[in-house]
Structure formats: structure tokens, C-alpha cells
Amino acid sequence: MKRIQLRKLGVALACLSLACVAGAATPAGPAPASPTATGMLGFTAQGVAQQQTLEKRFNALLSAPEMRGWLEQLSVEPNQVGSPHDKANADFLLAQFKQWGWDAHIEKFDVLYPTPKQELVELVAPTVFKAALHEPPIKGDPTSALPGALPPYNVYGADGDVTGQLVYVNYGMPDDYKELARLGVSVKGKIVIVRYGGGWRGLKPELAYEHGAIGCLIYSDPRDDGYFTGDSFPVGPTRPAEGVQRGSVEKMQLYPGDPTTPGYGSVPGARHLALKAAKTLLKIPVLPMSYADATPLLKAMGGPVAPENWRGALPFTYHVGAGPARVHMLVKSNWGLKTIYDVIAKLPGSTDAGQWVIRGNHHDGWVFGAFDPLAGTVALLGEAKAMGTLYKQGWRPKRTIVYASWDGEEPGLLGSTEWAETHAKELQQHAVLYVNSDTNGRGILFAGGSHSLQHMVNQVAAGVTDPETGASVQARQRASIDVRAARKNAKPLLKETAKLAGADGDIPMAPLGSGSDYSAFLEHLGIATLNLGFGGEANQGGVYHSRYDDFEHFDRFGDPGFHYEVALAEVAGHIVMRTADAEVLPMRFGDFSSTLDRYVQQMHREVKTEREAANAQHKLLDAGAYKLAADPLHPVAPPERLSNVPKVDLAALDTAAGKLKASAQAYAAAYGARAKAGLNIPPPQLARINQLMGTLEQRLLDAQGLPGRPWYKNMIQAPGELTGYAPKTLPAIHEALDARDWSRADQYAGVTAKVLDNYRAQLDQLTALLKQ
């Protein structure tokens, strides 16, 4: 569901042996470091050598041609939820796991999954036009002509039959509605048309509804992922004129998963809410469109000329409306349950079998789904086959390894959420790590998630080779950050990241929001989590969620040679095996503490910035500057007056962060002393240490959850209520500041401080055990 973008890329792992990359480049940067030279977090000296040998054996078992064959097979037919091929793929995955020696089974869930019955968009004034709402075959791409695909639609939008004037609202985000109000245009009783981008698609119709609109159309503008960004498919990778981005519009900012089983698994026979009681279903109809279909609608609009930063790349003047364009929109759906199929496989652990290391990637797509998600799925299959072979050869991981191929991710993280909710108690008792991937392609690597995992990921990345350059993955990531941070328009946070990474420092871990299957693990259950993937060079966004995301497109543009599929298998596989085999779980809590310090300082800066912005605006309003500066022939109203910013009390947060820093330093000293002595810890004491480490992330949860969104319980990172996929750090405080609710910000500074104190108390227990 979530595509990797270059601005968010982080650390992962590439091919360790140049022999596995045909024509590998001469290293353009620092060569990969040997684990024996750098040490390996959580391992004894003897364990480092054994693990290095194991990882080399694992790498040798990975095959790019084999992954290419799997991708071709899995994407040979449409595989959306409820399709025959989706079930066939689950059965194939199950058979492969069993063949490779895993204990595997399928878990079924019955979920609400509406499908289109009737769709219509037609311009009824001032001219007449009927939208195709269809993606035709592309010459040279035989897969795009295959039957079985559902028509383009936005799942969990409402049914409706509406007619109204059309209003263009740019990306349809909150600031766009503020600008629209200044232009004197209302969407009440009208249909809005917005372009993809600028924020998660599900927010667009929800915000339209909140502003009084009766329907919402979302189109792909070529400025964002079409010919403005590169040659269109089939010549190049970007979105063709008839390409449509499907996608969910479920209100996942409230909770993901089946809208009718909030907080509990939709196992067969489970109670389902009535549709009118499901809070994550939308209230107005919404449909996606190609820019070929959107063009006649946009050209028929009048009203004010759109602001400069609202204008796309279509060859005409963009107007805001309302009217004279009038549109008739009809959506009717089949609102039934469908069965989804999660494939769950297990390799039992030996000495620490009660701790689980979980790895997941979904297998359902919107149509053929080669890039999203099957590029990640074939990497997972490569890992599973290699680990199964090693297991047959005598390797026994200390901890139990669980591999999961989720179904129903595209509609709303259904398979992973329902499984996690069903098994919540045992997951919080046993799971110590969840490693997720989704889309994958050529480029730099992304790693986001729990900050205590930062050093392990950096160690892994420093010891492997990027397929295209021959440098280490970490060196290439650092170079990418440095180059982007040196640009004149670089954002302060990017410059700060570059400074922290430095010449030899760890690359900071990105926080996570939503949009893929890690949400239930990190943000609901409090399990240490990573999300990994390559991206930024393949430009796969042009076929994202369309029928043109198929094998032919991926084979030409996504990852020719499938070297980055092997690389993803290595990053995830090495992290899984290190966590499964480490003497002490490979976590470093000082990294979380130092990251928290930066988040707290960001809160202080935001308060200061908001106060300065409000004061500056008040001066301009009081002086009548906005009215005086406006063009009398094209008037724009002044902005709404910002509220004053009082003192925001973050003292409790500051104190908690300071105490945590001291505790993290004490832990680091105690662990360092133990590591220097060879991690020679008595088994009962070691088991208790690992148990405390494996559950420490859960201390970052608050039982009441985020305000208005109790399903999300993580007080450090979560998807933003008005950002969708994008993360908010210290979210309860951050969103109170965004809402200018200063008393709520004060309140949740205290709540977050208590969460941090609970985390610190358990960390102090760890330190005391290490000192014994």
C-alpha cells in the first residue's frame, strides 16, 4: 500500500557478495565493514564469527532468477481480495513454506469488503461528457489486457447518486480549504475534484464531507506522477493518460482493519457492526479518475483562476469554480463479507523459543500488484526458503521465527490487523520484533520504526554492498542524505539528520505513521518494529495501484535483474536472524533517548514558531495589510485570525526526557561492562534480561490511547489525524498544538511524561540485572 519515496529513505541491506550481482560496479564509497571488525550488537565474540558464517550461507542461497519467476507467477492474474488468484496465491505460498520445512497454516478472517456494482461520472453542463472510468490495455504489455480486474474505485467510500456544481480544491488538504475560503468559494452542496498527492487519499473525501461537499472525485495529475515527471508508460515508467490510482479511503486515522470489528479479530462467526455504526466508513461517494477523464471536467470550470501552486501540468488554465461545470456522480456497491487468507509459518526456536521474531509482507494487490506488494513478497519467499534450508542443515535459532504473508492489506491493513487483534495477548507476551516490507524497487534503502533498533540496522547496513554502486548500503544512504541536505531548499530536519549521521555516525531511524502492515504491531500492541524497502529510482509511482503495475512494467523499470529483491531479502533476513540468535536482544536504548530529546526540542520550537507566526499575522491584520495588498480586480480575503499562543507547559516532558537520558547512559555503561566480559550471564538472569528488553516497547503505550483515537496507543509515533500515512512524533502533544488546543497540549505533555517514566522504570530494572 505504501510506496517508498526518496525523501523518506533510510537504511536497509543489499547484496553481501559481489558475485551475486552480474557486472557489479567498482565500489564508489567505503567498502562494507566486516562484522568481526565492528562487533555485532548482542553477540559474544564467538557468536559474531558464527553469525557471520551463517549470514554468508544465507546469502548464497538467495536467487534473483528464482525471485523473478515467483513474481511472474504470483502476478499472472488479478489478485485483489475475493479473486480466485488471491486464494491461489495463498495456497501456493502455504505449499512453498511447507516444502521448505516450515510449520505453516492459513488463518481465515471474514471481513467487510465492498466491491463496485455501478459507477458513473458524467458532465451534464455546460457540455456533456461521460467518463470512461476504465483502464484500457497498453500496447506491448500483454498482462494489461487480461480479464478479472475490478473497475477503478475507492473502497469504503459511500454509495450515492448526486449532482452538483464542481469545485477544484487542489490536493484537498486543510490548508487548501483555508485558501479556498479566502477566494470566496464554498464546497457546500457541491462535488469537489482534487488531485492525488499532498496527503493521504482517505483524508480528501473526509475533509470534503466536513466542509459540506456531497461527493468527491480524485484524479492523478501528470505533474505529480505522469509525463511531467518522465516518459509515460509504455515508453517510460510514469502514469499513462488512462491510468487510475485505486485505493482505500477507510478512515484509518481512527483505526485500521475491518471497519465492522474494531479492536477484535473478524474470525469466522465474529459479531460485525451494522454499517451505520462503523466509524471508519465515509459518508459521501468518492471515485478515482485518470487525467484523461478529468480533463473535460476541469476545462469546463470557471470561477477564479487557481493559485499558482494549485496548477497541475495539463495544458489549460486551472479554475477553482464553483461551476459552471455540473457533474452527476453515481456509486453503488456490494456490501458483503469476503474471506481473506493469512499464511502463517513458523520455525521453532531452541533455547528461547518463547520469544518470537515476526516477519511480514502482504500478498494481495489492487490488480496484478507486481510492485505493490509482490516485489516485497518474493523477497520474503527467498528469505523463507534460505532459512528453511539452513534449518534442514542443522541451524536452530535461539528464538522462534514466524513468517506471515498477509491478505487484505490494500483495503485497510485487514489481514495483519485482524490477526494481531485476535492474537493480541500472546503477541504481547512473546513477540520481540516485527519486520515489515511492502513495495520494493531500485534505489536507496528505507528503515523506519523503533529507535532502539537503530544501531543494529546501521551495523547490518554497514556490512553489505549496494548492487548498483559497490559501496556499502550505509555509505550510499549517507551520501544521499548529505547531497539532499546540501541543497538550498533543504529542510532543517534533513540538515539535522545529515549532521547526526556525520562521517561515521549512525543514520537516524525514521518514525512510522501508517499505510502498511506494521501499524497493529507498533502502534496498537507496542512491539518493536521495523519497516524496510528500497526505492527512489524506479519511479514505480506512475503505475501505483493501477492495472499497469504488472510483471512487464516491473521487469523493465522496477528492478531489472531483480538484484534489489535479493538485497531486500538480505536486509530483512540478516535482521531476523540476528535478532533470533543474539545472546542479548540487539537493542540500544540510548538511541531512543537521544531521538526523544530531538522530538521534545521540536515541540518547543513549534510552540515558539506558532507564537511568532500568530504575532506577525496579527500585526498584518490590524494594519489592514492583506486588504491593501490584494488585487482589487481579483480580491482575496484576509486569512482567518490565528488564536493567541499562551505559555505551553512542557516541563513534565522535559523532566521525563532528562531522567530517561540518565537511565539510558547507566544502561549503556552496564551493558558495555558485560559485553567486555563476554556477556557471560547466568541463564535465568539472561532470560529475565531478554524478557524485559522484549517488552520494553510496550511501556510506550498509554491504555487510553490518543485523544479521539483510542486504538492508537503509542505515545511516541503514530499516523497523524490529518496526515494519514505520514507520522506524527509525540502525537498527542503535536496534534494538540496543530489544533491550537493549548490546554490539551499541557495535559498530554503530562500523560506522555508518565509513559516515559514507566519506560525508564523498566530500563532501570534491566540495568540492575546487568550489574548483578
In degrees and rounded to multiples of 5, residue 243 shows phi and psi of: -70, 140
> 126: helix, coil or strand?
coil
CA-based nearest residue to 222, from 295, 120, 165: 295
What does R_g of the chain's alpha carbons equal in angstroms?
Answer: 26
pLDDT in tens, 227-251: 999 999 999 999 999 999 999 999 9
- CA-to-CA distance for 260 and 271, rounded, in angstroms? 8
Mean pLDDT for 736-740 is 96
Q: Which amino acid is at 84?
A: P
- Mean pLDDT over residues 614-628, rounded? 97
Confidence (pLDDT) at 10: 33
Given a cut of 60, is residue 267 above it in pLDDT? Answer: yes
**Strands 717-719 and 727-729, sheet pairing:** antiparallel
Helix and strand numbers (H, E) in the chain are 24, 18
pLDDT score recorded for residue 157: 98
- State pLDDT tens for residues 661-684: 999 999 999 999 999 999 999 999
Dihedral of alpha carbons 273, 274, 277, 281, sign: positive
Residue 20: band (very low, low, confident or very high) from pLDDT cuts 50, 70, 90: very low
Query: Quick check: 618 pLDDT over 60?
Result: yes
Bridge-based pairing of strands 717-719 and 443-449 is: unpaired
Check pLDDT > 60 for residue 8. no
- Report the distance separating Cα 40 and Cα 578, nearest Å: 9
pLDDT value for 558: 96
Q: Are 539 and 229 in contact (CB under 8 A)?
A: yes
Whether residue 342 is predicted with pLDDT greater than 50 in this model: the reply is yes
The conformation of residue 319, written as its DSSP 8-state character, comes to B
Q: 199: left (phi > 0), else alpha (psi -120 to 50), else beta? A: left
Distance CA 263, CA 260 (A): 10
Please list, in sequence order, all residues whose beta carbon lies within 8 angstroms of the beta carbon of residue 461, skipping any fewer than 6 positions away: 11, 12, 13, 445, 447, 472, 473, 474, 477, 507, 571
* Digit-coded pLDDT (tens) for 162-174: 999 999 999 999 9
- Band of the pLDDT at 351, cuts 50, 70, 90? very high
Residue 24 has pLDDT above 50, yes or no: no
**Cβ proximity of 539 and 466 under 8 Å:** no
Q: How many CA atoms lie within 13 A of 242 on its CB side?
A: 14
DSSP codes of every residue in 93-113: HHHHHHHTT-EEEEEEEEEE-
Question: Which of 517-526, 531-540, 608-617 comes out lowest in average pLDDT?
Answer: 531-540
Mean pLDDT in residue range 319-345? 97
- Amino acid in position 683: P
The 10s digit of each residue's pLDDT in 381-403 is 999 999 999 999 999 999 999 99
pLDDT digits 0-9 by tens, 285-295: 999 999 999 99
Q: What is the mean pLDDT of residues 1-12?
A: 44
| Of 122, 126, 130, nearest in space to 300 by CA | 126
Q: How confident is the model at residue 430 (pLDDT cuts 50, 70, 90)?
A: very high
pLDDT band at 435 (very low <50, low <70, confident <90, very high): very high
pLDDT at 11: 30
Say which residue the cell 456497491 belongs to: 333
The Cα–Cα gap between 394 and 765 comes to: 36
- The listed range with the strongest mean pLDDT (20-34, 195-209, 454-468) is 195-209
381 by DSSP, 3-state: which?
helix
Report whether pLDDT(57) > 90: yes
Confidence of residue 329 (pLDDT cuts 50, 70, 90): very high
Read off the C-alpha cell for 326: 455540473
Report helix, strand or coil for 189: coil
How many Cβ atoms are within 10 Å of 311's Cβ, its own excluded? 15
**3-state secondary structure at position 119:** strand
Alpha helical stretches, state H, 544-588: 551-553, 563-581
- What pLDDT does residue 31 have? 52
Question: In whole angstroms, what is the distance from residue 701 CA to residue 45 CA?
Answer: 35
Question: What mean pLDDT is reported for the chain?
Answer: 94
pLDDT in tens, 61-83: 999 999 999 999 999 999 999 99
